[in-house]
Chains A and B, each alone.
Chain A
């Protein structure tokens, strides 16, 4: 563990990835994540790794696929429009059971949208990423230290379950500076007997493939993959609950929005309102149990997002619509303020208390 140093989110993510054993980075510039590839461009050549600026995000994700198939820890990063281009490759990664880490520092959309922070890619990250039956494990840090810690987790989980893992940040996480402690570099990486790095004449050839022309065969492979996803759902849910035990009102948000909510919750508590928070850290698997628990005593939920309301679907599903779920969102790159959220808490209190 390093001493505390001040780092920008994008750069801290890059350094954490290198410390997690990432040796191949492929990417294409896009605001607001560009400092991540720039950091990689500086650092990778010095440590015998690869930084390559690809011709497009499509090429970048397929280079990641190649490097991952070759058994190396590989990643790419981008922002919303670029993630849409990576969708095809992510589906192929999932279909070929290949690990990879993909960072999305979200900006406003749709289309070219804007360049300010957003959380409008939640649906994309948790369900509609690309064609086919598959899942991506999504991690949503709410600060730079957590982003650094989750980067190691992301690579470990990607290898363990042989699946793509996404770090879903936003422009605030990417651009903000905070003091962080960096983990020590990993010294041991998992064996990958399935990798395509040459048979050396010592084994049958390895094939990394997503094509199964017989329907029954494809169904079997997809079902096996879903058994692995069930393990992920059982073992890898990460969530923070805060002041939730006695709460009448639960504010829920992920990523940097959760940080803003904290201020509003403190202010409401100071005024004697029993408010708490549920903050998903894994967006898939979604921490449904934490919501169900909170719903046992809470009278209402306030879901806050930098979008028109996407995670709210999962919140409602988690509590089986047993409590009112109020929504407050700003979108297009507009960041909600603590005062706005505080006002929403008051409005919800009027509704349910």
Chain B
């Protein structure tokens, strides 16, 4: 009998703590499948964020480091500079990457730091139970924007891919979604490319994954996917924002 579906080897055989219907689990699986397909588990080091994915260090079979809130790109920089032969990735939420860790993110990108960043944009602070995130949409109700996010008071959401694409050190950034099979397949392609870029030494690669947080959005898993499609994708268009070798020009000289 042939095996048609199994747990990726790069995922630990443990129960994850994510809420039912949360898309963190899907993205973990995609990352693990890519690590398996590239055969790099033994040389990969992952950096977990502070956020719902904080326990990611228990879920991946590769060596793992748990960083302070927002500091994962700096920690990953330290690992990569110490041992350039390792494949180093971070896995971060929107609060982690685009609020408290904005400086670390932007500077890792502009340095062309040769790492892979998996960025989970769920427009909310999941772990701390539903506060406004830097990516919360205008009008979005959260516990700290109880009347809906008012851009006049709370500013506008950050479009991370668009912002990072302006930096010469960014080799690759693509926004994907995991709301349906077609998009999940595309998400995996993007994640694979982000790892392959690192192996090829192209520079900073980031994949932004539009994700759901049914628990804090107050929606069922199905409704949450509908919201993602209806409200998030129009504000955060899917696609490739940048795809190049960040150092091709300097190397050519």
Contact = CB atoms under 8 A, between A and B. Distances in A.
B63 A92 contact: no
Contacts of A4: none
B103 interface: yes
A211 interface: yes
A169 B58 CA distance: 40
A200 interface: yes
A205 B83 contact: no
Interface stretch (B70-78, B188-196, B236-244): B70-78
A54 B107 contact: yes
Interface in B12-44: 12, 41-44
Nearest to B72: A62
A115 interface: no
A62 B96 CA distance: 14
Contacts of A70: 45, 78-79, 82-83, 86
Given A66-B82, A67-B78, A200-B42, A208 B65 contact: yes
Given A196-B45, A201-B41, A67 B79 contact: yes
A62 B78 contact: yes
B201 to A, nearest CB: 16
Nearest to B76: A66
Interface residues of A, number: 42
A59 B64 contact: no
B57 interface: yes
B47 interface: yes
Interface string A182-202: 000000000000011111111
Given A69-B79, A72-B83, A198-B45, A208 B68 contact: no
B82 A72 contact: yes
A54 B63 contact: no
A55 B63 contact: no
B42 A55 contact: no
Given A205-B60, A205-B61, A199 B78 contact: no
Interface string A48-86: 001010111011101111111111101000000000000
A198 B79 contact: no
B167 interface: no
A322 interface: no
B66 interface: yes
A62 B75 contact: yes
A74 B41 contact: no
A135 interface: no
Contacts of B61: 199, 205
Given A66-B79, A207-B57, A207-B58, A197 B68 contact: no
A58 B71 contact: yes
19 contacts: A54-B107, A55-B107, A58-B104, A59-B77, A59-B104, A63-B74, A65-B65, A66-B74, A66-B82, A70-B78, A195-B63, A197-B82, A197-B83, A198-B44, A198-B45, A199-B41, A206-B64, A209-B64, A209-B66
Given A58-B71, A66-B77, A208-B65, 14 more contacts: A24-B78, A24-B81, A58-B103, A58-B104, A59-B103, A62-B71, A65-B74, A66-B74, A66-B82, A96-B65, A196-B45, A197-B86, A198-B43, A209-B57
Interface of B: 12, 41-45, 47, 54, 57-58, 60-68, 71, 74-83, 85-86, 103-104, 106-107
